[in-house]
């Protein structure tokens, strides 16, 4: 049987986007497979629609024409139109009647299932771009390692087609199963290390970072004995992750792991509207400083802190 045609052997997780022509998620031109569900709950999450493993209903206020069709078709009376569309999400049963009939596309379903074979057949359309640019497929999310069996099967199928596979991860996963199932099929891992102090990580990300630090150390060792590309990344969140104390702590830990290259990701506030589209308001722990972009001067200061510890950024 053609390996690309082989269907998934178990229940597929939900994805929320297959994004082609990406230049920001690894080398070359890439297609990004976004998985739904994450074990962390970062208050600044740039993909808030990825946190939950279940289907969600989104409403794009910018596309809404206020026609009232969604109000008419909702069997639960969960939608009202008084100047603007309002969704009473505690009443919504996710029947998606409003999505099916929305003339502007403002109402949307977040989350769909595809077998690994279906994903491969879709991304193979982009293989000429991968081959010509040194690109490939990136697993992102959410957290792909929440679905290790599926991700491993998909990565194996892509690998069999000669496609470069990169994993973007929050680092919270069972290392034993990860190294057995998924790691052999990966060419690169982008590993996010957000906060060095465990108490801060618990407060802002909802879980301990001790397993994350352990996993990064083990991956660094594995990368040192293989062709795996490992890149540690730290998102810069004003007032939370961009402090001198946090960045120097992270840089020092990277040095202990033998990692000498990392990436700092400047804060982007545009995720706020994505959260509101699925009924999530910005977290109370976020500050006014997190409503705008970071200044180039401050970003450079953060980079200099890493460089002072011998980490190239």
3-state class of 16 per DSSP?
A: strand
Q: Can you tell me the distance from the alpha carbon of 229 to that of 224, in angstroms, rounded to the nearest whole number?
A: 9
CB atoms within 10 A of CB 58: 19
More confident residue, 92 or 291: 92
Confidence of residue 292 (pLDDT cuts 50, 70, 90): confident
Q: Pairing state of beta strands 14-22 and 79-81?
A: unpaired
Reported pTM: 0.91
Residues 237-260: what's their mean pLDDT? 96
CB atoms within 10 A of CB 132: 10
The pLDDT tens digits for 122-131 are 999 999 999 9
Verify cis geometry, omega within 30 degrees of 0, for the bond prior to 70.
no
Examine the pLDDT at 1 and tell me if it is beyond 80: no
Q: Can you tell me the distance from the alpha carbon of 227 to that of 112, in angstroms, rounded to the nearest whole number?
A: 33
More confident residue, 17 or 293: 17
Position 288 scores a pLDDT of 64
Position 267 scores a pLDDT of 87
More confident residue, 69 or 7: 69
Q: Can you tell me the distance from the alpha carbon of 172 to that of 160, in angstroms, rounded to the nearest whole number?
A: 27
The pLDDT tens digits for 112-162 are 999 999 999 999 999 999 999 999 999 999 999 999 999 999 999 999 999
Position 187 scores a pLDDT of 98
| High-pLDDT (> 90) share of the chain, % | 84
Residues 226-238: what's their mean pLDDT? 96
**Which distant-in-sequence residues (6+ apart) come within 8 Å of 195 by Cβ?**
201, 204, 205, 209, 240, 241, 246
Position 7 scores a pLDDT of 34
Q: Can you tell me the distance from the alpha carbon of 158 to that of 92, in angstroms, rounded to the nearest whole number?
A: 38
The pLDDT tens digits for 181-196 are 999 999 999 999 999 9
What the chain holds in terms of domains, given with CATH numbers, is: 14-53+112-308 (3.20.20.70), 56-110 (3.30.70.20)
Confidence of residue 6 (pLDDT cuts 50, 70, 90): very low
Residues 76-87: what's their mean pLDDT? 92
Examine the pLDDT at 49 and tell me if it is beyond 50: yes
Q: Mean pLDDT lowest for which of 19-23, 188-192, 279-283, 287-291?
A: 287-291
């Amino acid at each position: 049987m053609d390996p690309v045609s082989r269907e998934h052997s178990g229940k597929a997780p939900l994805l929320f986007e297959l994004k082609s022509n990406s230049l920001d998620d690894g080398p070359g031109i890439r297609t990004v497979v976004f998985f739904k569900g994450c074990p962390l709950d970062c208050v600044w999450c740039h993909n808030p629609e990825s946190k939950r493993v279940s289907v969600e209903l989104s409403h794009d206020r910018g596309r809404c024409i206020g026609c009232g069709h969604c109000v008419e078709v909702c069997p639960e009376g969960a939608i009202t139109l008084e100047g603007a569309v309002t969704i009473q999400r505690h009443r919504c049963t996710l029947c998606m009647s409003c999505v099916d009939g929305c003339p502007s596309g403002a109402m949307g379903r977040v989350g769909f299932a595809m077998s690994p074979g279906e994903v491969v057949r879709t991304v193979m359309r982009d293989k000429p771009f991968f081959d010509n640019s040194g690109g490939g497929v990136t697993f992102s999310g959410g957290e792909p390692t929440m679905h290790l069996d599926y991700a491993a099967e998909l990565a194996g199928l892509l690998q069999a087609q000669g496609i470069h596979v990169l994993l973007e991860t929050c680092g919270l996963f069972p290392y034993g199963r990860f190294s057995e199932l998924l790691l052999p099929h990966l060419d690169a891992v982008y590993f996010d290390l957000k906060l060095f102090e465990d108490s801060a990580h618990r407060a802002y990300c909802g879980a301990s970072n001790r397993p994350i630090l352990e996993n990064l150390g083990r991956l660094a060792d594995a990368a040192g004995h293989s062709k795996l590309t490992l890149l540690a990344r730290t998102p810069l969140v004003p007032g939370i992750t961009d402090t001198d104390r946090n960045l120097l702590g992270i840089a020092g830990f990277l040095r202990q792991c033998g990692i000498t290259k990392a990436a700092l990701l400047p804060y982007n506030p545009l995720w706020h509207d994505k959260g509101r589209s699925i009924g999530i308001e910005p977290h109370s722990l976020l500050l006014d400083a997190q409503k705008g972009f970071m200044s180039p001067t401050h970003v450079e200061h953060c980079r200099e802190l890493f460089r002072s510890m011998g980490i190239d950024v």
